[in-house]
């Protein structure tokens, strides 16, 4: 007999076995596809959620603050150094502070900053309208009540300046008592330069720590510190969410895998008459095992690939619904899912086959 | 006869029934655990968010401006409005008092240290307060969990102080040393590190700050750490414009706005509001995580439903000869369907009950290992899980049963179907 026809016979048997029991083959395949899809979706989400949530956590604002010593200020080279080090990892926002006096001689903190950057840094600010041009100020709600009508006059070291009130800001914290103007306005009015730089750096806590170290190295004269409230809180919430997700993923994948096991074990037991006939016709135990294993491999490969596609779809759907951003498909999950499927299908077909091997074909064919 | 048929089917085909029952049990366990986690996670993560510290602040109603840059408070401590310290225990008397995990009063005063002006912040450390019959302990360490002390926290009735780490390195203070604050010697019980303005300040018991300004029983602000529900459009409405029913609903939801409203009612002459940096972001992330777990739970329910259906369908296909025999003996469509459906319901109930128990244990274990507290599984979940289990086994067997009863008995008995 030629080798080709032997292999041909093998595939014919696999094909016919699937075709003759379409329903059972389909339900076995369904179980595997579902398990593979669940595993893919959960792994994909687990790997992606960290990045997604970290982006959300950056809305908490600055996690690194650079502060000059009293009486000193950041030069534009210093600011550029910080920007170069941080790169595109998040906004770098300079702040300049001084205390001016309002018309009623009330002392009030005036802060100079870059409004487009602050919007990115502190998205929780509830702002009625952002300043657009020179001479416009963003006034804290408490400061606004103390100042009265717009335009208002502020004086510093005997120099008065008029500011137009562009809008108010409410945060429930120190910002409510301050007046925010542009850095240029503050500089031309009082010659005040930035003394604080706030950085909202993205990435894991290790990334942020290394960035902090880098900044400390390149600006030794400056006090660089992490905002512990933000960094520690984030690590906590993120870690626990990931653990929950991982446990949930384990539950779901185990359930689906065990259901595959139950389905395939039932299937193999159901076909004991077929195996008995094959044995009666002269097939060795080994040949039957190879035949069943072949089936299992085909099922696993088809199931894993279809399931992978479905799982990526589910993960990206969840990403879009929940985070308004698709979860990127990770091809490196495919081999993991494929191997998992192969292990589960081979286990759940070859184990029951071993049990059947002990039984004489005659007994099975008699229906005992 | 019907009961006997079902009974015998279970007795004689224990292996097949076991396989299906295992699948149903696992499906029900995963569903129970996932539903419990999805409903409980908001609460747990909300507790974790308390690591971000206070999310509400109470200040005097009469508006005064803070004049503070970094750690330096430039405001003369003599003027401005204050809150009464005696009103503090009432915070534990508001409707959502159980949601308030910690609070700390603050009174910043100006003092001189080594010839320089510094800000001394008075607060509670571990103060016991009594409201009604309830006694509770609160203070800055619980309200601001990221505050770290090298040395010891001062006791609330002492005159010991904490020195911020930046200030300490400037004046060379260390735990146990003595410093002169406005001419009076005080013991430094520890060095405080917060990564914020307090690093350049002195933090002392509230009573010490009050005696420095000569204002016993007064304080400037109260920082409250509360478990909040994420703010939505309803939360932002003005309670005065709501109908009585809506107003009750608003008042009885732990929104930042409604808890602030209740704090304002409890503390005379006060204004309470959310600290948006914490409250807003916390709400956003909380809804994201809750949404994620909800979607995953739906996916998990679908997964276990499909997987159980597949197992059920395979089990049904096995029984064509049995169906053929029954049909040959004269069983009708209805009788056959009833037998199989009864069997699936029995399996579903048994598997559902076992799965519910396993799932509840899983959820609790998970809660304990990850969050250090149990995730409660509501008893109302049991009928839900049972209903899902019955629905899924029904669905899984229905197709197979339909096909089984349509078999030609001759073909089925010959094994050719």
**pLDDT at residue B393, rounded to an integer:** 82
Is residue A285's pLDDT more than 90? no
The shortest CB-CB distance from A172 to any of B20, B41, B273 is to B273
For the beta carbon of residue A157, count every other beta carbon within 10 angstroms.
Answer: 9
Confidence of residue B264 (pLDDT cuts 50, 70, 90): very high
pLDDT of residue A339: 94
The more confidently predicted of residues A52 and B209 is B209
Determine the Cα–Cα distance for residues B104 and A239; give it in Å rounded to an integer. 27
| The predicted structure's pLDDT at residue A1 | 45
Instruction: Please name the residue of chain A whose CA is at the shortest distance from the CA of residue B143.
Output: A229
* CA pair distance A225, A228, nearest whole angstrom: 8
Facing B307 at nearest CB: one of A45, A124, A259? A259
On the question of pLDDT at B156 being above 50, the answer is yes
Query: Which of B37, B65, B307 shows the shortest C-beta gap to A256?
Result: B307
Read off the pLDDT of residues B164-208 as tens digits, 9 standing for 90 and up: 998 999 888 999 999 999 889 999 999 999 988 889 899 999 999
The ipTM (two decimal places) reads: 0.82
Q: What contacts 24+ positions apart, CB below 8 Å, involve A117-123? A: A117/A91, A117/A92, A117/A93, A118/A93, A118/A180, A120/A91, A120/A93, A120/A200, A121/A61, A121/A62, A121/A91, A121/A93, A121/A198, A121/A200, A122/A61, A122/A171, A122/B277, A123/A59
- For residue B128, give the nearest of B112, B139, B144 by alpha carbon: B139
Residues of B in contact with A121 (CB under 8 A): none
> Which residues, at least 6 apart from A197, have a Cβ–Cβ distance to it below 8 Å?
A65, A66, A67, A74, A79, A82, A92, A93, A94, A95
pLDDT score recorded for residue A295: 86
Q: Cis peptide before A151, with omega less than 30 degrees from 0? A: yes
Shortest Cα distance, chain A CAs vs residue B71, angstroms: 11
Query: Which residues on neighbouring strands pair with residue B222, listed in sequence order?
Result: B58, B105
Nearest to A322 among B273, B276, B295 (CB): B295
The pLDDT score that the predictor gives to residue B21 is 86
Residue numbers in A near B30 (CB within 8 A):
251-252, 254-255
> Does the distance separating the beta carbons of B276 and A170 come in below 8 Å?
yes
Residues 270-309 of B with CB under 8 A from A: 273-281, 284-285, 288-289, 291-293, 295-296, 299-300, 303-304, 306-309
DSSP codes of every residue in B177-204: -EEEETTEEEEEEEEEE-SSGGGGSEEE
Mean pLDDT, range B197-223, rounded to an integer: 91
pLDDT over 60 at A2, yes or no: no
Q: Does the structure show a pLDDT above 50 at A232?
A: yes
Res. A368 pLDDT band, cuts 50 70 90: low
Q: Does the beta-carbon distance from B196 to A228 stay under 8 Å?
A: yes
Note whether A24 contacts B279, CB cutoff 8 Å.
no
Nearest CA in chain A to B289: A241
Q: Does B52 touch chain A (CB under 8 A)?
A: yes
Residues B315-319: what's their mean pLDDT?
72
The residues near A288 (Cβ < 8 Å, ≥ 6 apart) are A275, A278, A279, A353
Mean pLDDT of chain A: 86
Q: What is the CA radius of gyration of chain A?
A: 34
**Smallest Cα distance from A43 to chain B, Å:** 12
A351 at B interface, C-beta within 8 A: no
pLDDT given for residue B353 in this prediction: 94
B231 and B280 Cβ atoms separated by less than 8 Å: yes
Q: Which residues of A touch B24 (CB under 8 A)?
A: none
Virtual torsion, Cα B24, B28, B29, B33, nearest 10 deg: 160
State the count of interchain CB pairs (< 8 A) between A and B.
Answer: 249
Q: What is the mean pLDDT of residues B308-330?
A: 77
Which has more confidence, B176 or A232? B176
* pLDDT confidence bin for B76, thresholds 50/70/90: low
Tell me how close the Cα of A95 comes to any Cα of chain B, in angstroms: 11
Q: Does B239 touch chain A (CB under 8 A)?
A: no
Q: Does A46 touch chain B (CB under 8 A)?
A: no
Say how far apart CA B123 and CA B140 lie, in whole Å: 7
Predicted pLDDT of residue B79: 65
Report which of residues A105 and B244 the model is more confident about.
B244
Tell me the chain A residues in contact with residue B81 when contact means C-beta distances shorter than 8 Å.
none
Q: How big is the CA angle at A66 (ends A60 and A71), to the nearest 5 degrees?
A: 135
CB-CB under 8 Å, B304 with A255: yes
Helices (H), chain A: 3-20, 22-57, 76-86, 115-121, 141-147, 183-190, 205-218, 228-270, 272-280, 285-323, 333-357, 361-365
Digit-coded pLDDT (tens) for B293-311: 898 888 888 888 887 777 7
In DSSP terms, B100 is beta-bridged to B226
Check residue B182 and give its pLDDT: 86
- pLDDT tens, position by position, A143-180: 888 887 778 888 888 888 888 889 999 998 889 989 99
Return d(Cα B287, Cα B282) in angstroms, integer.
9
Residues B347-379: pLDDT tens digits? 889 999 999 999 999 999 888 888 888 887 888
User: Token pair of A297, please?
Assistant: 């491999």
Residues 6 or more apart whose Cβ sits within 8 Å of residue A305: A334, A338
Q: Give me the residue from B75, B196, B371 closest to A240, CB to CB.
A: B371
Please indicate if any CB of chain B lies within 8 Å of the CB of A314: yes
What is the separation, in whole angstroms, between the first and last Cα of chain B?
28
With CA atoms as reference, the chain B residue closest to A64 would be B195
In chain B, the percentage of residues whose pLDDT exceeds 70 is 96
Which of A70, A96, A172 is best to mutate for the B interface (most B CBs within 10 A)? Answer: A172
Closest chain B residue to the Cα of A224, Cα to Cα: B195
- The CA distance from B133 to the nearest CA of chain A, in Å, is 33
Cα of B200 to nearest chain A Cα, Å: 12
Total length of chain B: 417
- Check CB contact under 8 Å for A318 and B313: no
Under 8 Å between Cβ of A82 and A200: no
Phi, psi of B41 (to 5 degrees): -65, -35
State the pLDDT at residue B178.
92
For residue B116, pLDDT over 60 is answered with yes
**Spatial separation of the C-alpha atoms in residues B340 and A243, rounded to whole Å:** 41
Least confident of A112-116, B224-228, B284-288, B326-330: B326-330
pTM of the predicted protein model: 0.83
- Residue B66 φ then ψ, to 5°: -80, 135
Flag whether pLDDT at B78 surpasses 60. no
pLDDT of B177 reads: 92
Q: Check pLDDT > 70 for residue B291.
A: yes
Q: Is residue B77 pLDDT above 70, yes or no? A: no
Angstrom CA distances, A352 to A60, A267, A368, B22, stand at: 56, 10, 17, 16
> Above pLDDT 70, what percent of chain A?
98
User: With an 8 Å Cβ cutoff, are B275 and A34 in contact?
Assistant: no
Out of B53, B274, B303, the one facing A38 most closely (by C-beta) is B303
In chain A, residues 131-170 whose CB comes closer than 8 Å to chain B: 142-143, 145-146, 170
Residue A101 pLDDT > 50: yes
C-alpha distances (whole Å) from A11 to each of A18, A299, B217 are 11, 13, 90
Least confident residue range of A28-42, A224-238, B198-212, B389-403:
B389-403
What pLDDT does residue A275 have?
A: 83
- The pLDDT value given to residue A149: 72
pLDDT for residue A289 is more than 70: yes
Residue B416: what pLDDT?
A: 59
Q: Cβ contacts (< 8 Å) between A69 and chain B: which residues?
A: none
Which residues on A lie below 8 Å from B317 (Cβ)? 21, 23-24, 27, 270
B 81-140 near A (Cβ less than 8 A) = none
CB A161 within 8 A of CB A108: no
pLDDT higher than 70, residue A348: yes
Q: What is the mean pLDDT of chain B?
A: 86
pLDDT computed for residue A140 by the predictor? 92
Supply the pLDDT for residue B410: 77
Phi, psi of B82 (to 5 degrees): -135, 165
- Nearest alpha-carbon partner for B314 in A32, A354, A364: A32
Q: Which among B310, B354, B312 is positioned nearest to A37, based on CA atoms?
A: B310
Mutate to test the interface with A, among B20, B23, B42, B65 (most CBs of A within 10 A): B65
Contact between chains at A42 and B296 (C-beta distance less than 8 A): yes
For residue A54, what pLDDT is reported?
85
Mean pLDDT of the region B322-346? 82
Give the 3-state secondary structure of residue B405. helix
């Amino acid at each position: 007999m030629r080798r080709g026809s032997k292999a041909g016979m093998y595939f014919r048997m696999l094909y016919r076995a699937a075709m003759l029991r379409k329903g059972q083959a389909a339900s076995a395949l369904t179980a595997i596809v579902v398990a593979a899809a669940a595993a893919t979706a959960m792994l994909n989400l687990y790997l992606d959620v960290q990045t997604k949530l970290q982006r959300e956590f950056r809305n908490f604002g600055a996690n690194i603050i650079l502060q000059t010593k009293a009486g000193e200020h950041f030069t534009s080279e210093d600011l550029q150094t910080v920007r170069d080090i941080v790169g595109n990892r998040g906004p770098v926002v300079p702040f300049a502070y001084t205390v001016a006096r309002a018309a009623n001689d009330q002392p009030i903190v005036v802060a100079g900053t870059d409004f487009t950057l602050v919007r990115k840094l502190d998205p929780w600010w509830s702002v009625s309208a952002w300043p657009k041009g020179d001479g416009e100020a963003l006034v804290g709600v408490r400061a606004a009540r103390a100042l009265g009508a717009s335009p208002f006059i502020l004086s510093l070291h005997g120099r008065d300046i008029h500011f137009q009130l562009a809008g108010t800001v409410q945060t429930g914290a120190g910002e409510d008592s301050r007046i925010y103007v542009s850095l240029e306005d503050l500089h031309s009015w009082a010659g005040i330069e930035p003394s604080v730089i706030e950085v909202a750096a993205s990435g894991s806590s290790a990334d942020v720590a290394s960035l902090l170290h880098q900044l400390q190295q390149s600006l030794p004269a400056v006090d660089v510190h992490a905002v512990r409230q933000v960094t520690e809180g984030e690590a906590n919430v993120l870690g626990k969410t990931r653990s929950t997700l991982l446990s949930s993923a384990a539950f779901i994948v185990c359930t689906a895998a065990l259901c595959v096991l139950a389905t395939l074990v039932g299937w193999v037991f159901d076909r004991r008459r077929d195996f008995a006939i094959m044995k009666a016709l002269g097939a060795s135990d080994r040949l039957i095992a190879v035949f069943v294993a072949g089936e299992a491999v085909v099922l696993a490969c088809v199931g894993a690939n279809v399931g992978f596609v479905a799982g990526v779809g589910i993960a990206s759907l969840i990403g879009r619904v929940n985070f308004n951003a698709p979860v990127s498909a990770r091809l490196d999950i495919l081999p993991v899912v494929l191997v998992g499927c192969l292990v589960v299908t081979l286990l759940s077909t070859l184990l029951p086959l071993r049990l059947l091997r002990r039984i004489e074909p005659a007994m099975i064919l008699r229906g005992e | 006869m019907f009961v006997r048929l079902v009974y015998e089917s279970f007795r004689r085909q224990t292996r097949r029934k076991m396989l299906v029952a295992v699948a149903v049990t696992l499906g029900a366990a995963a569903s129970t655990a996932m539903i419990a986690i999805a409903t409980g996670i908001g609460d747990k993560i909300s507790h974790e968010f308390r690591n971000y510290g206070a999310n509400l602040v109470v200040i005097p109603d009469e508006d005064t401006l803070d004049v503070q840059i970094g750690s330096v408070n430039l405001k003369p401590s003599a003027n401005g409005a204050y809150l009464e310290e005696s009103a503090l225990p009432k915070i534990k008397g508001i409707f959502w008092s159980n949601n308030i995990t910690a609070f700390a009063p603050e009174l910043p005063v100006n003092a001189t240290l080594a010839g320089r002006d510094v800000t001394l912040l008075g607060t509670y450390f571990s103060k016991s307060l009594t409201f009604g019959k309830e006694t509770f302990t609160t203070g800055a360490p619980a309200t601001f969990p990221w505050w770290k002390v090298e040395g010891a926290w001062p006791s609330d009735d002492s005159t010991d102080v904490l020195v911020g780490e930046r200030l300490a390195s400037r004046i060379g203070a260390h735990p146990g040393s003595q410093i002169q604050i406005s001419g009076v010697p005080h013991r430094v019980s520890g060095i405080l590190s917060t990564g914020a303005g307090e690093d350049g300040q002195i933090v002392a018991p509230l009573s010490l700050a009050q005696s420095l300004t000569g204002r016993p029983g007064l304080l400037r602000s109260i920082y409250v750490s509360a478990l909040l529900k994420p703010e939505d459009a309803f939360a932002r409405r003005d309670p005065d414009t709501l109908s009585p029913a809506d107003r009750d609903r608003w008042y009885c939801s732990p929104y930042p706005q409604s808890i602030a409203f209740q704090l304002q009612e409890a503390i005379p002459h006060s204004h309470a509001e959310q600290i948006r940096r914490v409250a807003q972001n916390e709400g956003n992330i909380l809804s994201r995580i809750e949404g994620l777990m909800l979607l995953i739970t739906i996916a998990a329910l679908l997964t276990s439903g499909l997987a159980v259906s597949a197992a059920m369908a395979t089990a049904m296909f096995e029984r064509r000869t049995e169906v053929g025999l029954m049909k040959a003996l004269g069983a009708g469509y209805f009788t056959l369907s009833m037998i199989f459906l009864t069997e699936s319901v029995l399996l579903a109930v048994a598997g559902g009950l076992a799965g519910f128990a396993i799932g509840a244990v899983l959820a609790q274990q998970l809660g304990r290992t990850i969050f250090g507290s149990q995730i409660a599984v509501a008893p109302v979940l049991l009928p839900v899980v049972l209903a899902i289990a019955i629905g899924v086994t029904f669905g899984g067997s229905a197709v197979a049963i339909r096909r089984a009863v349509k078999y030609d008995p001759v073909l089925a008995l010959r094994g050719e179907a």
